[in-house]
Amino acid sequence: MGYSREVIGVVLGGGKGTNMEPLTPHLEKSLIRLLGKPLIYYPIKNLAQLGLRRMYVISRNPQRISNELGRYFEGVSLESIGQGGDYLNSALKMVKEVSGKGTTLISFGDVVLPQEAYELALNSHVNSGKAITVLMTPLSDLQGYFEVEVVDGVVINKVSTHKSGYAWTGILVTERDFLNSLYELDGDINSALRLFRSNVNVALWSGWFVDVSYPWDLLSAIKYLLSDLSEARVSKDADISPKAMVEGPVIIDAGAKVDHGAIIRGPVYIGNDVYVGNNAIIRNNTSLEEGAVIGADAEITESLIGRKATVGRGSFIGSSIIGDESTIEPGVVTLNVLPTGVEVSHLSPVIIKGKQLAKLGAIVGPGTRIGANSVIYPGSIVEANKYIQPLSILK
């Protein structure tokens, strides 16, 4: 898709993301892997599919971002930039400097949306002739989101109570004058919006949208990303037993092995060098990341199994996240039906897009070992690098 003026993409990678603990003790949120790719890959991919060929990623760890992303975007000038000190002000300064005289599309690196949302934002901006476009979406419960209010201008505020309205999707399309004002006002977006009160365009997105703020948001992101999968894509270098059963849309990457009697019911992602044992069942909306091992007779459903994690024989993992290099010993069961109104932690009730989350199993940090035949109650959070004795009951 071509535009008469150059459009530059800027993705704000953010930092560690303390709300994502225990998954991020040594890893930025934007580098958590979903379907074999880091989270920040998805907004960048959407910008590239719009035809943007110059993009910048603002990150506290630019070298690692560059190493992770460089191989995915051939023909795109993708530069990762990091600044210390006042991170927000430094990021704004960098965005202002790289924007030139063209249009800049800014996206949060932890928001997952389909490509059509980016297309809507950019087309709406170009056709409006305004200095800034804000992409928003309707939600029945805005708690924890940034609300867009359109009353004699536009303001964006974080909401701490239950109410309906319009949430900001984390996408802005701007011209240089607005970026200059935003920088001069130290990132105070509402003050900048007031200066441009009559020059703000609002675009409405009514499709799916996931703001990854908490670990369980990753499960929603997997579901929506896999919803675009309509057919099986199996690498010629994968080893699928003729006695295994693969149903529905799946991705099975190179080096994966699916053993005799295993059942894969898509949509499912099975990453590089994953092993799925005899008679194991992998159900819908599951992502098995690179090098994961699923033991014989285990069952996995609606879960994220991290890189080089192991799930032992006969275990049941439902609606859960198992961190990288963790070990779930044989016979472990995650209970995943939440009581009404449960709070998973002191941070936030389990609300996703305005609805009470019905299911959530365990959130297990990386490097943890859960002993054999343990039972984990719904919504349990297990810290990184823990050892849990066999036959434990975690509440």
CA–CA separation, 185 vs 332, rounded Å?
53
Q: Is there a single domain that holds both residue 205 and residue 235?
A: no
- Name the token pair of 251: 């991705």
According to DSSP H, which parts of the chain are helical? Answer: 41-49, 62-69, 87-98, 115-128, 176-184, 189-195, 217-227
CB neighbourhood size of 337 (10 A): 11
Three-state SS at 202: strand
Alpha helix locations (H) across 7-69? 41-49, 62-69
Extract the tokens encoding 77.
């000038």
Residue where one domain finishes, among candidates 156, 188, 213: 213
Cβ pair 276, 262 in contact under 8 A:
yes
Whether residue 261 lies inside any domain: the answer is yes
Residue ranges making up the domain that contains 79 = 7-213
Structure tokens that stand for 135 in this block:
């992409």
**Domain stop point among 184, 213, 242:** 213
pLDDT of residue 354: 41
Is there a domain that residue 89 lies in? yes
Residue-wise DSSP of 138-164: EES--TTSEEEEESSSEEEEE--S---
Tell whether 142 and 274 lie within a shared domain: no
Rounded Cα–Cα distance for residues 113 and 37 (Å): 15
In the chain, the number of structural domains is 2
What residues contact residue 127 under an 8 Å CB cut-off, 6+ apart?
none
Q: Looking at residue 329, what is its pLDDT? A: 98
Same domain flag for 168 and 317: no
Shared domain for 141 and 252, answered yes or no, is: no
Q: Is the same domain home to 244 and 205?
A: no
Residues 28, 126, single domain; the answer is yes
Please say which residue of 213, 242, 274 terminates a domain: 213
At 60, list the tokens: 């506290």
Same domain, 204 and 296: no
Same domain for 150 and 200: yes
221 found inside a domain: no
The reported pLDDT for the residue numbered 101 is 63
Question: Which pLDDT does position 21 carry in this prediction?
Answer: 84
Whether 116 and 263 map to the same domain: the answer is no
Please give the chain's pLDDT, 395 residues, in tens. 445 568 889 888 866 667 888 888 777 888 899 999 999 999 999 999 999 888 888 877 777 777 788 778 877 777 777 655 455 566 666 666 666 667 999 999 999 999 999 999 999 999 999 999 999 999 888 888 889 998 878 999 888 888 899 999 999 999 888 888 887 887 788 888 888 988 999 999 999 999 998 899 999 999 999 998 888 899 999 999 999 999 999 999 999 999 999 999 999 999 999 999 999 999 999 999 999 999 999 999 999 999 999 999 999 999 999 999 999 999 999 998 876 655 554 333 344 444 456 789 999 999 999 999 999 999 899 999 999 999 999 98
DSSP class of 242: T
Interatomic CA distance for residues 377 and 86, integer angstroms: 41
Q: pTM here?
A: 0.90
CATH number for the domain that contains residue 40: 3.90.550.10
- pLDDT at residue number 98: 65
180 and 292 belong to one structural domain: no
- Indicate if 34 and 158 belong to the same structural domain: yes
How far lies 245's CA from each of 140, 226, 289, 302, 319, in Å?
40, 19, 20, 18, 22
Based on the domain organization, do 283 and 141 belong to the same domain?
Answer: no
Q: Which of 90, 66, 94, 89 is nearest to 79 (CA)?
A: 66
CATH number at residue 366: 2.160.10.10
